[in-house]
Structures are given as structure tokens and as C-alpha cells.
Structure 1
Amino acid sequence: MESNTNVTRARKSISAAQAGRWACASMFLVNGFVVGSWSPHIPGVAKRLALDEFALGLLILSFGLGAIVAMSVSGQMIARIGSRRTLLVFALPVIGALPVVLSMPGFWSAALALTVFGGAVGGMDVAMNANVVLLEKRLERAIMSSSHGFWSLGGFVGGALGGILIERVGVLPHAWGVTLIAVLIVSSTYSILADDRGPVRSGLPTEVVHTRGRLPRHVTIYVIGAMALLCLCAEGAILSWSALYLQKAMLADTATAGFAFAGFSGAMAITRFLGDRVRNWLGAVKTFRISGVIAGVALAVAGLVESPWIAIIAFSATGVGIANMVPILFSSAGNQPDVDAGVAISVVTTMGHSGILLAPSIIGFLGGHFGLGSVYLGLAILLGLLMLLAGNAASADTRHAVTETGATG
């Protein structure tokens, strides 16, 4: 009788974890959808506030600074109240941020609103990833790549529809529409998110363990972090500047320009959903090298062409290349010998995310002096140089640690 009871409990636990897996995926979708919906608005904000590339770079910098600060705060909150509650705390301002940002009348008020927006996005990102770590332990399988695939899918939908809807219905109606959709998704799925309490299979602890160890002394961890930073610099450059690049350099309209990030996100989403199979087939190092070549060549094409649609195709191909590079790097960090996995991943996560959050402002400064096409070309060359460091990804093939650490990308 006791055996049957245990089996029933185990089945209920797995069923709840599977439901929680899709609920968490919906949170990734919402986060990506809101961020993707913001991207087509950037040229309009720059025009309305009369900002050049330098000033726009400063504005975008506020988004990144808010996110970096909130990531640390979110980690502390997760340790105290759990990832599920922390996720709600940050999801709420993400939901309502877009209309607020777009209603700001001047540079400084917009910068303040973007700081809060970036902080909410960054804090929500950490909480989502922590919740997926919990789910991977309960399901005993990796789901990180596909979870981030939903983020990319949300970015694709937000970017693709954003430019069209902004032209047809206007700036604020589009922003409020994004908010309404986000409210409906979060309110309908939050209750089935995995709680940080409950049974875990294979005797693993019932809560996510938050290590507070010292920074690792192994240089390899910081090399991997620098590699992740560079990969995410390219992603941030496309997120924040691709629409403006197509409009200024190629005279594309708003609807067409919105497809730059949408194509990138859509291609990345599809590739991430297939990423685990590809890596199992080719191995981490080979997958990383092939991905880097694709990303470097495609981004170089985007920086050299004069046709907006060819540039959109090139940005999409860049998404195919970058999609699995960062997940491989995070897996490699978590499997380094003689280094606490939690500490290693936290270091690489912070370094990597600083690329997508802070680099766009630097790119704006450089773009103002040399042109965005030249910046994309320079990033392509740096992505190519990463192939010389691909051997650092070898430990990502260590399979036994996948359900123990839960690296993200």
C-alpha cells in the first residue's frame, strides 16, 4: 500500500513539474515578447526626443544598468522567498513598462523609466532561470535551451508585429495591447508555476541551492565568461540597433525595420528548439565552432550590404549561429572540475548578460563615429576569433551535471 502511495505521489510530482515547465515557458515568452515589442519603438523614441546615436546610447545604457543591479537583487530575493514569488515581483513591472516608457516627455524621465524597465527584465530573467533549474531537477532532463527558445519566439512575435502595428494603430495603442496580452498570459499561468518547495526525484534537495562561495580562481571560468559576453554583445547590437540601422543606412520604413530583430529572434527560437539534438550529435566543441562561423559570416554580410531585405536575412542567419553558443558556454562553466557549479555559473551569467545589457550603449557611441555597419563588421570579426577558444566548450559534453546545475543561455 505504501509503495502504491509513493508511486502516486511521484506521478503527481512529475505531472505538476510538467505543468510548471510550460508555465515557466510562458514567462519566457512574455519577457521576450515585451522586449521584442520595445525594439521597433527605439527609432521613434530617438526621433521624438531628438536624440543622436550618442544620446540614444546613453538612454539604452540606463536599461542595462537597471538590469545589472536588479539581477543581484533578484538572486538575494530568490534565496529568501523563492523563485516563484520573485518572478511575480519582477513580472508585474515588465507587464506595464512599455506604455510608461513611451509616455515619458523628455530624456531624463525616459531614462528613469527605462532603468525600471531594464531592472524588471533583468530580475525576471534570473527568477525564470532559477525556476527552470528547479524543474530540471524534478524532471531529470534539460529544458533550458527550449525555455530560451520561447523567449526568442516571444521576441520574434513582438518584433514582427510591432513595426506593423505601430504604423497602423499608433505608438501607445500598440504598447497597451502588448500590456494586455502579457497580463492575460501571466495571470492564466502563474498559479501553476513550480513552487520552490516540494519533492524532487533522485534524492536531490527540495529547494534550489544558492551557494555563496568565493569567486573561482580558475582562469578558464573568466575566459568562458568573456566568450559569453562577446556572443551576447552581438545579440544586444541586433536587439537595440538593427531597426535604426535599416532605417538610417537603407531607408527602410518602420514595418520593414521591425523584421530585423524579428527575423533574428525567430531563427534563434527554431534553432534553440533543435539545439539539444544537434549538440548530442556533433558534440559541444564542433557545434560551437560551426555556430560561430555561421554567426560571424552572417553578421559581416549584414554590415556590408545595402538592401534591407538582404540585411534581414543576414540578421536571421546570425540568430541561427548565436542560438546555441551561449547555452554551450554556460553548460561548460557548470561542468568545470574542482569549481563549485553554482559559483561558476553565476560568474559567467553576470559577465555574459552584461554584454546584452550594457554593450548596446557602447555600440551606439561607436556607431555615431564609424557607422553601425562598421560596428557589425567588427563584431563579426570578433566572433570569428572566438573559434580559437572553442576548446573551452569541451566540458559541456559532461552529461551527468545537466540536471544538477541548469546552465542557461
Structure 2
Amino acid sequence: MTISAPSRLTLLHARLAVYGLFLIAGISLGTWTSRIPAIKDDLGLSDGELSVVLLGIAGGAIIGMQAVGRLIDRYGSRRVMIPAGLLQGVVLVLPAFAPSLPALAAAMFAFGMVHGVLDVSMNANAVVVERVYAKPIMSSFHAVFSIGGFLGAGIGGLFASAGASVPVTFGSVGLVVTLVATQCLRWALPDAFDPGRRPVQEAAAAPGRPMAGWVLFLGVLAFCCLVGEGAAADWSSVYLVEDLRATETVGAFGYAAFSIMMTAGRLAGDRLTARLGPVLLVRCCGALAGIGLLVTLLIGHQVAALIGFGLFGAGLSCIIPQVFSAAGHRDPAQSGRALAQVASIGYAGLLAGPVLIGAVAELTGKPIALAIPAIMALFVAAAAPALRPARS
């Protein structure tokens, strides 16, 4: 079947549509996170009850990721990601009106499920757009997600400082999310331009194959990377304050340094991928993350820690985009299922990382515990050849 090439305007719109979905995914998460204290206070939740709510998000996300892969392969990423993007704005509003813990847990389960579906489907569509562009552009999409997280947190903070209620905050942001998703519907790349697309009947008849070894291994790499992201989010500030005797203000700069450098790395990631290739880039990034954090832990000084967490963020920045890109390109006919499996395994690392660090820290202290994600980053560097594109 001959596939006509899309016009430059169609390509630009397709890229902007994926940017838009990554942006609203980040904004939704950032807004929710910024209003957690208010929701906790409104419902009088204990720390343990809040953890049940957070577990609901995680459970919903993993179930959504597991369920969506085959739908993408059968119907195309466009037909899955647009409804998910529209629903993202709706489910963001639900927790604002939850009157009790069970209702809030159910609302956040729905939020997590929709977010998981959106996460996999927008990454699958990003792979399609990257394939049509015929050059690396995946890192820039993930940079926009990071920027969206910053924006969401900032917007939530502004609403909170103005004394706005949680329903007003989530309703306003949810409306913007829905409007952006509606525009993405108009601009998303039609499935006819996907060179790896199979007819619906053929995709429906294709038997489900067990997870290939390369999918599992890419999932392990994603797991290692996201253990590091989770550890930085939950333990960088604690390490600075409790072990290095930093003030809480300085402690907050630890994760800020990580996040800013991760975003900067992703903004530069496409150019670096084009120049170095995915294997050398991930090898260098993993080494930078691992060595930077290990040296920081050995020095044990506040300034060194801030620099080290910044290097850790810069090192991890380009790994997940390259892992997801490899998963989507390796077998275009089953890119949805491959991305779903890799994302699910990786997300488990984001959840397990902080728990693992906490358990080891309890036994050995935080410096040794934080060496675990550094060692995992070095493992990713050593395993970088797994990202080498398959020979056609």
C-alpha cells in the first residue's frame, strides 16, 4: 500500500498536537499535586489515608497502561489518545467534589487510569510523528511534559494563594485541558500517514504474542531510570535537610535542581540524539547520572549535593525518551503493546523507588540507599546497546 507524504503544515500540526497532549498531561498532574494539602485538610485525611488515595492513582495508571496497548495497535494511537485527552480534563474535576475517602480514592483511580491510557497513547503517537519526520524529536515531547508539570504546580499555587477552592482550581484547569485536547483533535496526524499502520481487520486478527525479551529488557531500563526519578522526588530534600543539615529552603532546591536540569536535558535531547545516536547518548547520560550522584554522596556537602542532583537530572533526562522511542520503533505493528509493557514496568519503578530507598535507608542510612539509583543508572549506561535500532 502506497502512503502519501503529509504536507509540511500537516506535519507541524501533528507535532503541535502531541506537544499539546504532553502539556496537558503534565499540567493535570502538577495541578493535582499542588492541591493535595488542601484536599487532605478538607477531608481530614491522615497520612495513611492519603497513601490509599495515592495508591489508587498508581493502580489506575498501571491498569490503564496494560489495557490500552492492543487498542492502539488495532485502532491507531490517534483514536485512543484524543478521547483520553478529553477525559483528562473531566476526571481532573472529580476529586474536587469527592465527599469522603472512598469517593476520593475512586475518583483518583479513574484519574490514574485515564492518565495511564493518555501516557501510552500519546507516546505511541509521538513515535508515529517521529517516524514520519524521520529525525529524533521524542525528547522534546517529554520536555513539554516536564514544563507542563511546572506550570500545573505554579497554577495550583497561584489559585491557592488567591484563596480559591479546590473545585474552582480543578474546574478552571480542567476546562483549559479540555479545550487544548479539542484543538489536538483537529491537528493530530491522521492514521493514513502512519507508515507502520496495519488495516483494522488485519490488526484485529493478529494473535497476541507473549512479551518479547527485548520488550522486557527495555522495561527494565525504564524501571531503573524511574527508580531514580522517584528517589529524587521523595528523598533529595530529606537527604539535604536530615543528613547535610540544610535548611528546608535549601532542601527544596535539591529537587528543583534535578527537575530543572532534567527539563534542560530533554530540550537539548533531540539535537544530541541526532549527533550522537541513541546508544552513545544513553551511555553518556547513564554515566553522568550515576557518577554525578555517587561523587556527591561521597563528598557529603550541601553545594555538592545540589550540583549532584542537577547532574543526576541531566543524566536521566534523555533515557526514558530513548527507551520509549526504541520500544515504539522496533516493531511498528505492535508498538502500542510494546510501549504499554515498557511503560508499565517503568512506572512500577517510579512507585517502588521511594519505598526501596526508604527501606534501605532505615538499615544503612540515606547515603548508601541513594547509591542504589546511581548504580542503576550505571547499569543503564552499560546496557545502552539495547537501544540500537533494529536492522531493516
TM-score by length of 1: 0.74
Q: Distance in 1 between the 2:298 and 2:157 partners?
A: 22
1:39 matches 2:33: yes
Q: Distance in 2 between the 1:313 and 1:97 partners?
A: 38
* Equivalent residue number for residue 359 of structure 1: 352
1:91 matches 2:85: yes
CA shift for structure 1 position 295? 3.2
Aligned residues of 2:286 and 2:381 also touching (Cα < 8 A)? no
Indicate which of 174, 182, 196 corresponds to 2:169: 174
Aligned residues of 2:65 and 2:343 also touching (Cα < 8 A)? no
The alpha-carbon distance between structure 1 residues 311 and 64, as it changes in their structure 2 partners (threshold 3 A), is farther
Q: Distance in 1 between the 2:379 and 2:241 partners?
A: 35
CA shift for structure 1 position 286? 4.4
The alpha-carbon distance between structure 1 residues 336 and 193, as it changes in their structure 2 partners (threshold 3 A), is closer
1:192 matches 2:187: yes
- 1:2-401 equivalence runs, <5 A: 10=5, 12=7, 14-48=8-42, 49-52=44-47, 54-172=48-166, 173-196=168-191, 198-200=192-194, 205=197, 212-216=207-211, 218=213, 221-238=215-232, 241=234, 252=248, 264-296=258-290, 316-331=310-325, 345-356=339-350, 358-359=351-352, 363=354, 367=358, 378-388=369-379, 390-398=381-389
Residue 170 of structure 1 aligns to a residue in which SS?
coil
Q: Distance in 1 between the 2:56 and 2:137 partners?
A: 32
Aligned residues of 2:27 and 2:151 also touching (Cα < 8 A)? yes
CA shift for structure 1 position 79? 4.0
Residue 35 of structure 2 aligns to a residue in which SS?
helix
What is the percent sequence identity of the aligned residues?
28
CA shift for structure 1 position 19? 1.2
Task: Read off the aligned partner of 1:152 and give its amino acid letter.
Answer: S
Q: Distance in 2 between the 1:120 and 1:398 partners?
A: 31
Q: Distance in 2 between the 1:257 and 1:94 partners?
A: 32
CA shift for structure 1 position 212? 4.7
Aligned residues of 2:68 and 2:340 also touching (Cα < 8 A)? no
CA shift for structure 1 position 317? 4.2
Task: Read off the aligned partner of 2:150 and give its amino acid letter.
Answer: F
Structure 2: tracts of 5 or more residues without a match = none
Aligned residues of 1:29 and 1:151 also touching (Cα < 8 A)? yes
Aligned residues of 2:17 and 2:188 also touching (Cα < 8 A)? yes
The alpha-carbon distance between structure 1 residues 199 and 292, as it changes in their structure 2 partners (threshold 3 A), is closer
Aligned residues of 1:160 and 1:259 also touching (Cα < 8 A)? no
Structure 1: tracts of 5 or more residues without a match = 1-5, 402-409
Once the two structures are superposed, what CA deviation does each residue of 1:52-101 show, in whole Å capped at 9, x if it has no partner?
2x443332111111011112332233345432232232223321333322
Residue 141 of structure 1 aligns to a residue in which SS?
coil
Q: Distance in 1 between the 2:327 and 2:193 partners?
A: 27
Task: Read off the aligned partner of 2:105 and give its amino acid letter.
Answer: A
Greater mean alpha carbon deviation, residues 391-400 or residues 58-67: 391-400
Q: Distance in 2 between the 1:77 and 1:343 partners?
A: 9
Q: Distance in 2 between the 1:191 and 1:292 partners?
A: 38
Q: How many residues align?
A: 380
Aligned residues of 1:335 and 1:396 also touching (Cα < 8 A)? no
TM-score by length of 2: 0.77
The RMSD of aligned alpha carbons is 4.2
Residue 312 of structure 2 aligns to a residue in which SS?
helix
